Amino acid sequence: MATVHKINEDLVKERQKCTFNVQELTYLLDGGEEVTKERREFENILRNVKELQDEVPEVYLSHKERYENAVRKTCILQNVRNDFEKKREVLSPRNIFRAGYAVIKDVSPFFLHNGMFVPTIIGQGTPEQQAEWLPKAKAMAIIGTYAQTELGHGTFIRGLETTATYDAKTEEFILNSPKVTSYKWWPGGLGTTVNHCITVAQLYINGKKYGIHPFIVQIRDLETHKPLPGIKVGEIGPKMGFATANNGFLGFQNFRIPRKNMLMKNAQVLKDGTFVKGMNEKLTYGTMVMVRVNIVSDSAFHTAMAATIAVRYAAVRHQSQLKAKEPEVQIIDYLTQQHKLFIAIATSHAFSNTYTWLYQAYLKVVEDLGKQKQDHLPELHALSCCLKATSSRDAGVIVEQCRLACGGHGYMASSNLPIIYGYTTAAITYEGEHTVLLLQTARYLMKAWMSALEGKVLAPSVAYLVDWLKSDKQRWQNTPEVIVKGFQHVAAGKIKDAFDAIQKHVKAGKDYEDAWNLASVQLIKASEAHSRAILCDGYLRETVRTSSSVSPSLAKVLNHLVQLYIVYWTLETAGDLLVYSNIGKDDIAVLKEKYEELLALIRPNAVGLVDAFDISDEILQSTLGSYDGRVYERLMEEAMKSPLNKEPVNQSFHKYLKPFIKKAKL
């Protein structure tokens, strides 16, 4: 029987202080009691699968062993999931995503299968193509990835070099990688795991180029798993994180695939080689939009993980005295510590709330596209780009801040903060590099500004530009609503400045593209300010909306958090607000006090708030963040698992140290 340990006394006291019902918040964050129950049930089943327990911590395994262990466990996870779904409803994607962390300590080599391969078949395939591949893909009879990026190009996908040349005689496409730079590079699972992939390649028909399109390609034999003739595939080697994601490379040499393997929901190639244009060529980029929306939710979860670890640790850890002769204080009682941590909790809530409405906006666009309507696509693209960019970047900063807040122990692999940092920061680059996505949004903002000047009606997310042009700056008040308006004024002001900068360069004789480049630092600043205004506005609206349907005690805490988020960012961007809004120095002084008050109000609920994220110890994988707070015991237990502690004297002593010391004595 497993030993039951006492909960750390500080944590017991913290939980007693909590002023709201933790369970109620968990249900709210999950999207309902049923979702929480389903999640807990599934996590509980996984907890009891003996084969999923690691005898040796993964960190001590070699690169190869780690990968093999990840494949082994991912297969078990998939089987457990299949059994679960036979008896009950299909698990929600978010619940399966979360549970995955309890199994694979890092990133699953199957990650891109569910994350992008299946969604691309759904989003880019015709009904016939879906009927052919989806059942096999969903059952994992075929395993795939999304192979777009190449050694030479990740951002500029119109420049991809892999070619798919149509041969009307055989009704096949011939895939080729003409140069080293045209090799696919990065796709998760490609290294040694998958047997299929979506390959994004330049289409050629009768010598004419028709741009990039997605193709389903089988790359390995289903029986032997050997690469098929004409395929060169392998793993790209160790990275900063993503140790078990099995990222790979792929090259083609006259590799033939049938015509039906081009995903043809949008553009089509007919048997005779006739090219039929789709409604909008950018719909080929659809999977990326979906993933960018999802990354906002992932950023919320990664922030919640880091906050849970660092807040529980801060409640358990005592260090230094506030007053002489008094006991050492819990580090969570240092205001500077609260400053580092409470924003982490609020940020996770801000991203969850943002994801809720952004996902609905995404679903609406997908529904509209089904009716051949694409009016809201540019707005969704602009929103998904800047919110993916800002949420992943903020999450990276927050995770690192949480690590720093744990002092030396945060640097231990067993805290799990290094691994969380590895996959959080990867998201800043993948699925559209940070700056590049901000510039995509800026493109939309410049057009919106022009429309505003022309007096046109604007899409809701940029409607504030019209208000800004119409009215004088509002009289400042230190209320969340007026501060959000202030953020919109900052965004509008920066958008205008960036627009004017471009115009100035154009007037001075520059090409528009050069003028754009010369103004691009201002453009990304405008995009960032727009993101912050959207985040604050959406978070405030969602909180007001949910507050009416939850208990008064919970509504109060949610209100503290949203205020903290808004006031934190007011103080962080005070310089901008002073330039672009009516805020005064005195208002900032008042808000500094308000911020300190909010920290004090949140303090008694800090542990309750991270408990409400309901991240089990198996998912958290952290010596510092476990529910029972046995920080020191766990650190010691984990240290004892080091292979270097398995023998009293390591052989290197006899081989190297002893002769070295002897020589030194002579």
Question: Considering the rule CB under 6 A, would residue 148 count as an interface residue with ligand FAD?
Answer: yes
**Quick check: 618 and 45 in contact, CB under 8 A?**
no
Q: Please give the residues from 376 up to 435 whose contact with ligand FAD meets the rule CB under 6 A.
A: 426, 429-433, 435
Question: Considering the rule CB under 6 A, would residue 599 count as an interface residue with ligand LEA4RHUT?
Answer: no
Question: Considering the rule CB under 6 A, would residue 144 count as an interface residue with ligand FAD?
Answer: no
Write the interaction track for ligand LEA4RHUT spanning residues 118-157; mark x where CB under 6 A is met and - where it is not.
----------------------------x-xx-----xxx
Question: Considering the rule CB under 6 A, would residue 155 count as an interface residue with ligand FAD?
Answer: yes
Write the interaction track for ligand FAD spanning residues 235-254; mark x where CB under 6 A is met and - where it is not.
-------x----x-------
Residue among 379, 431, 528, 542 flagged as catalytic: 431
Write the DSSP assignment of 442-476 as a string of letters.
HHHHHHHHHHHHTT----GGGTHHHHHHHSPPPPP
Closest separation in Å from C-beta 512 to ligand FAD: 14
Complex with ligand FAD: residue 299 or 626, whichever CB lies closer: 299
Complex with ligand FAD: residue 400 or 633, whichever CB lies closer: 400
Q: Is 431 part of the annotated catalytic residue set?
A: yes
3-state secondary structure 303-356: HHHHHHHHHHHHHHCECCCCCCCCCCCEHHHCHHHHHHHHHHHHHHHHHHHHHH
DSSP label at 150?
Answer: B
**Quick check: 53 and 73 in contact, CB under 8 A?**
no
Q: In angstroms, what is the C-alpha Rg of the chain?
A: 27
**Cα distance between residue 16 and residue 149, in whole Å:** 51
Six-digit token pair at 596? 């300190």
Smallest Cα–Cα separation from 192: which of 236, 158, 142?
236
**Quick check: 190 and 184 in contact, CB under 8 A?**
yes
Write the interaction track for ligand FAD spanning residues 466-505; mark x where CB under 6 A is met and - where it is not.
----------------------------------------
Question: Considering the rule CB under 6 A, would residue 379 count as an interface residue with ligand LEA4RHUT?
Answer: no
Six-digit token pair at 214? 């997605």
Six-digit token pair at 364? 């609406």
Closest separation in Å from C-beta 148 to ligand LEA4RHUT: 5
Question: Considering the rule CB under 6 A, would residue 436 count as an interface residue with ligand FAD?
Answer: yes
Smallest Cα–Cα separation from 625: which of 351, 305, 338?
305
Q: What does 243 bind: ligand FAD, ligand LEA4RHUT, none (CB cut-off 5 to 8 Å by kind)?
A: none
Closest separation in Å from C-beta 390 to ligand LEA4RHUT: 16
Closest separation in Å from C-beta 317 to ligand LEA4RHUT: 27
Closest separation in Å from C-beta 166 to ligand LEA4RHUT: 22
Q: What sign for the dihedral angle of Cα 404, 408, 410, 413?
A: positive
Smallest Cα–Cα separation from 635: which of 306, 432, 415?
415
Question: Considering the rule CB under 6 A, would residue 294 count as an interface residue with ligand LEA4RHUT?
Answer: yes
Q: What does 443 bind: ligand LEA4RHUT, ligand FAD, none (CB cut-off 5 to 8 Å by kind)?
A: ligand LEA4RHUT
Length of the chain: 666
Question: Considering the rule CB under 6 A, would residue 188 count as an interface residue with ligand LEA4RHUT?
Answer: yes
Smallest Cα–Cα separation from 220: which of 199, 197, 195, 198?
195
Residue entry with tokens 């909010």: 598
- Let me know how many helices (H) and strands (E) the chain has, helices first: 25, 11
Q: What does 158 bind: ligand LEA4RHUT, ligand FAD, none (CB cut-off 5 to 8 Å by kind)?
A: ligand LEA4RHUT
Complex with ligand LEA4RHUT: residue 111 or 342, whichever CB lies closer: 111
Q: Where on the chain is the footprint of ligand FAD (CB under 6 A)?
A: 112, 145-149, 153-155, 186-188, 242, 247, 426, 429-433, 435-436, 439
Residue numbers annotated as active site = 431
